[in-house]
Amino acid sequence: MMRPLAALCIGASCLLLALEAMPHEPDADEVALGSLVDAELAFARMGREQGVHAAFLANFAADGVALQPAPVRVQQAFRERGPPADPLALRLDWKPAQAGVARSHDFGYTTGPYTVSNAANPGTRHEGAFFSVWRRNAAGRWQVILDAGIATPGAVDFAALGAAPRAGYAGNAQPDAARRDLLAREANAFGAAGASLTPNAYARLLADDARLQRNGAAPIASRGAIARATALRIGRVAWMPIDARVARSADMAVTWGRYRETDRAAHQQDGYYAHLWLRDRAGHWRLAYDVTLPGS
């Protein structure tokens, strides 16, 4: 189980209808976004029909990871584990509610609700929100490179969160340099004293329409709402990045690693994070999705 363990804000079916209903020929951005949503829908359909094991093996990149909460290489872990005796005993249903693509159309993300149930306990059902980052392979096929799912107290209404964050950067792209720079900045808390961030310093990194998806809680949208929630919970937070991937256009990136939160009473909590970064028009990286999974 990956997702439970572990730009626009409309239902996937509405997205496809909207694209079809447009009076103009779809442009390259619309085509790329539609193909990403199609890939997520096909992934979910395969999960229902063939089971989680087969679907994840077929749709994750060779280096794709899932947070459980620590990062796990999906292809390696699933092959070592082997297929379950009953591939459909675990039922995992999900659908994309928001999606976004990079300007280079090789990189994108999807997020939406999921439910999980088990044939052994038919009356038990758990709900949550998944977050996946996708990259096209050499053949142009979308594959998952990172997946992080949070449990939520109930079903999430993604439409109520507003439109999904989008990148605004259209400058020169140097993805390798951008990856090194972003990893260094995260490790150094973007220059904050003591290599950790206060709630105010953290809030300054957020996109205006950022999302916080924290395990055990409903997603929070907007810089202001996240800043208020963070200020109530923590005194400082430090990030220890493990790896990153960057779009060819260097306007979208994902990082993942460990975090350590220290509350105002000096109590510490460790866990794992996935960050989706988008560059604004001025070229500054803004934190658009912060997905956090406290360690066990």
- In terms of domains, do 126 and 190 share one? no
Structural domain that includes position 93: 8-161
261's enclosing H/E stretch is strand 252-262
pLDDT over 90 at 191, yes or no: no
68 in Cβ contact with 77 (< 8 Å)? no
pLDDT over 50 at 6, yes or no: no
Residue 8 has what pLDDT? 35
pLDDT over 60 at 7, yes or no: no
| Cis ω for the linkage preceding 26 (within 30 of 0) | no
User: Is 170 a member of any domain?
Assistant: no
Per-residue pLDDT band for 17 (boundaries 50, 70, 90) equals very low
What is the Cα–Cα distance from 277 to 179, expressed in whole angstroms?
A: 11
User: Is 33 a member of any domain?
Assistant: yes
- Kindly write down the DSSP assignment for every residue of 73-101, as one continuous string: EHHHHHHHH---SSTTSEEEEE--SEEEE
- In terms of domains, do 153 and 219 share one? no
At which of 161, 193, 217 does a domain end? Answer: 161
User: Is 18 a member of any domain?
Assistant: yes
- In terms of domains, do 30 and 126 share one? yes
> What mean pLDDT comes out for the span 44-51?
96
CA distances from 106 to 30, 132, 214, 279 (A): 13, 14, 27, 16
Per-residue pLDDT band for 296 (boundaries 50, 70, 90) equals low
User: What pTM value is reported for the model?
Assistant: 0.90
Residue 21 maps to which CATH number? 3.10.450.50
User: Is 168 a member of any domain?
Assistant: no
pLDDT over 90 at 33, yes or no: yes
Q: pLDDT digits over 138-159, tens only?
A: 999 999 999 999 999 999 999 9
> What mean pLDDT comes out for the span 123-145?
95
Residue 88 has what pLDDT? 92
Tokens representing residue 172 in the block: 């020169």
User: Is 2 a member of any domain?
Assistant: no
User: Is 166 a member of any domain?
Assistant: no
| Mean pLDDT of all residues belonging to the chain | 91
- In terms of domains, do 24 and 86 share one? yes
pLDDT over 50 at 1, yes or no: no
- In terms of domains, do 145 and 191 share one? no
Residue 16 has what pLDDT? 44
- In terms of domains, do 29 and 129 share one? yes
> What mean pLDDT comes out for the span 212-231?
96
- In terms of domains, do 25 and 139 share one? yes
3-state secondary structure 215-259: CCCCCEECHHHHHHHHHHHCCEEEEEEEEEEECCCCCEEEEEEEE
Q: How many domains does the chain have?
A: 2
| DSSP SS3 for 202 | helix
User: Is 86 a member of any domain?
Assistant: yes
Residue 76 has what pLDDT? 96
Match 């020929």 to its residue by tokens.
25
71's enclosing H/E stretch is strand 71-73
At which of 126, 161, 196 does a domain end? Answer: 161
User: Is 290 a member of any domain?
Assistant: yes
* CB burial of residue 123 (10 Å; 0-12, 13-18, 19+): exposed
Residue 18 has what pLDDT? 47
At which of 110, 138, 161 does a domain end? Answer: 161
> What mean pLDDT comes out for the span 111-124?
88
- In terms of domains, do 110 and 44 share one? yes
- In terms of domains, do 18 and 154 share one? yes
Between 24 and 282, name the one with better pLDDT: 282
What is the Cα–Cα distance from 23 to 17, expressed in whole angstroms?
A: 12
Residue 5 has what pLDDT? 42
> What mean pLDDT comes out for the span 64-74?
97
